[in-house]
A and B are shown apart, each in its own frame.
Chain A
Amino acid sequence: RKEVEQDPGPFNVPEGATVAFNCTYSNSASQSFFWYRQDCRKEPKLLMSVYSSGNEDGRFTAQLNRASQYISLLIRDSKLSDSATYLCAVNSNSGYALNFGKGTSLLVTP
């Protein structure tokens, strides 16, 4: 089983829609969880950390389910500018290295 798995998509959604991505991880001892956004041929940019109680940043909501070992990202009121690849990341056993999923591609259409 891979350390971190994501549905590659693509997810094609109209502007204004709500879309959700899940990401599963294999290491039950993981403590740090993140969502990154990566535009084509650019570096990954930290979108948000994921906290145990769930957290929200504007239109973005992240949640952690430790029992089922997955994290989720919900995007409300999608904008054209949200089109990108979304990577989830989970800390490895070392603590300082992150294991990344391959990413989920989102395309928001007019």
Chain B
Amino acid sequence: NAGVMQNPRHLVRRRGQEARLRCSPMKGHSHVYWYRQLPEEGLKFMVYLQKENIIDESGMPKERFSAEFPKEGPSILRIQQVVRGDSAAYFCASSPPEPGIHYGYTFGSGTRLTVV
């Protein structure tokens, strides 16, 4: 029973390139949450998605960042024209159709993005 799967584990991009981070939720889970952890910072909520719907993107930077969770396939966090300040660890969590907030999240192993 696989947990939340994220790939790639490590991603290196040059400034100006695009980064695509993928998250496959736990089996039976249809809600996905993305968080970012900047160096020496706490985890910050970015976006909450259900299949084919963005429910809350209040934590997403206004430009260059987008997220989707299609009917088929993983959730994708896309960062266009990356800058050095985007270097961070990006974590994904999932929950069943009745969001399990009261049970806490199980995070995937994360994607560490390095912008050079």
Contact = CB atoms under 8 A, between A and B. Distances in A.
Nearest to A92: B45
Greatest chain B CB density within 10 A among A34, A97, A102 is at A97
Nearest to B107: A43
Given A42-B109, A44-B91, A91-B101, A96 B33 contact: yes
A98 B42 CA distance: 11
A22 to B, nearest CB: 16
A94 B43 contact: no
A72 interface: no
Contacts of B91: 43-44
B56 A4 contact: no
Given A43-B91, A100-B43, A94 B56 contact: yes
Contacts, number: 63
B72 interface: no
Interface residues of B, number: 28
Contacts of B102: 31-32, 49
B62 to A, nearest CB: 18
Contacts of A4: 42
Interface of A: 4, 31-32, 34, 36, 41-46, 49, 87, 89, 91-92, 94-103
